[in-house]
Amino acid sequence: MLGPQVWSSVRQGLSRGLSRNVRGWASGEGKKVDIAGIYPPVTTPFTATAEVDYGKLEENLHKLGTLPFRGFVVQGSNGEFPFLTSSERLEVVSRVRQTMPKDRLLLAGSGCESTQATVEMTVSMAQVGADAAMVVTPCYYRGRMSSAALIHHYTKVADLSPIPVVLYSVPANTGLDLPVDAVVTLSQHPNILGMKDSGGDVTRIGLIVHKTRKQDFQVLAGSAGFLMASYALGAVGGVCALANVLGAQVCQLERLCLTGQWEDAQKLQHRLIEPNTAVTRRFGIPGLKKTMDWFGYYGGPCRAPLQELSPAEEEALRMDFTSNGWL
């Protein structure tokens, strides 16, 4: 396994046949920040009394920091952000900023239901050190979240944000797919970098890449289950819950895709599908945290109303890892 430093140069040195141009990290005039790469969406550790455990957060980050990730997503869906107070959200991001290696990116989830609250949270996230804001679609009034409403929302946020914005569509949680036409319109905004798409429809991902090809718009797959397919279609990376436990393997899959070793990539991708489903759709964050405990990280409890896995669920979770050779 390559170390992070070497990895970084590999990543930038590669001809990157299937992805778009790689740009330097420091964005110059007109250049957008390059977000290509793999990110674990870090979980928020809690104590037995459901307080945020910042010590365990730092321990997890120290371990994750040894892997060749492009950066970290903080306050994504796996961060239990809807269960945190505003000040907890900011404190967690602040701690991650202080703890994580300096050469990585910090993408902070700053989405709220109202446009105004999202703007304020985004500004605050910038102040505590986020490199970019990942903004989930508002969803409670999904029946009225037309393309026009979403374009208005994201434009306002991007206009007022001191840091670049990444769109975030996660229909399993929001019941809402950010429409392709809205994405295409928003891709033209100078302060919108790209998108994290967790829906799993790679035809859609391909279409988004295709229709934004004249913009500098970068698509990240929102899950390791369709990471290889997303690379094939033109995505430049992934935000993968599974990278919290099989981080080296997800980065290895990235490398195989970027270097055109598609046969080996396929074999590895195949072995990651069931574990990935297990820590996402099937058993959710309780499953992810339980698995983190197995893999030497601190998982711990979720905040209520999320419940611990039942013994039968835990057994099924374990099987999804053992049957693919990971445990």
Residues 6+ apart with CB under 8 A from 20: 213, 216, 218, 234, 236
Count Cβ atoms below 10 Å from residue 325 Cβ, excluding itself. Answer: 8
Binding mask 163-182 for a copy of itself (x = CB under 8 A): ---------xxxx-------
Binding mask 111-150 for a copy of itself (x = CB under 8 A): --xxxxx--------------------x-xxxxxxx-xxx
Please identify, among the stretches 158-166, 228-236, 239-247, 314-322, the one whose residues bind a copy of itself according to the rule CB under 8 A. Answer: 228-236
Residue 168 bears catalytic tag: yes
Check binding of 50 to a copy of itself (CB under 8 A).
yes
Please identify, among the stretches 4-12, 25-33, 91-99, 268-276, the one whose residues bind a copy of itself according to the rule CB under 8 A. Answer: 268-276
Burial class (CB in 10 A: 0-12, 13-18, 19+), 114: exposed
Residue at token pair 């981080």: 247
* Min CB(161)–a copy of itself separation in Å: 15
Q: How many Å apart are CA 34 and CA 19, to the nearest integer?
A: 12
Q: Is 128 annotated as a binding residue?
A: no
Q: Per the structure block, which two tokens stand in for 301?
A: 């409890």
Contact 166, 131 (CB under 8 A): no
Element (DSSP H or E) covering residue 72: strand 71-74
Check binding of 17 to a copy of itself (CB under 8 A).
yes
* Min CB(15)–a copy of itself separation in Å: 10
Q: How many Å apart are CA 27 and CA 23, to the nearest integer?
A: 8
Q: Give the 3-state secondary structure of residue 213.
A: coil
Check binding of 274 to a copy of itself (CB under 8 A).
yes
Element (DSSP H or E) covering residue 133: strand 132-136
Check binding of 305 to a copy of itself (CB under 8 A).
yes
Residue 290 bears catalytic tag: no
Contact 159, 134 (CB under 8 A): no
Known binding residues for pyruvate: 239
Known binding residues: 239
Q: What does the binding site for a copy of itself look like in residue numbers (CB under 8 A)?
A: 17-18, 50, 77, 82-83, 85, 113-117, 138, 140-146, 148-150, 152-153, 156, 172-175, 200-203, 206-207, 209-210, 213, 225-226, 228-229, 232-234, 260, 262-263, 265-266, 269-271, 273-274, 277, 281, 283-286, 303-307
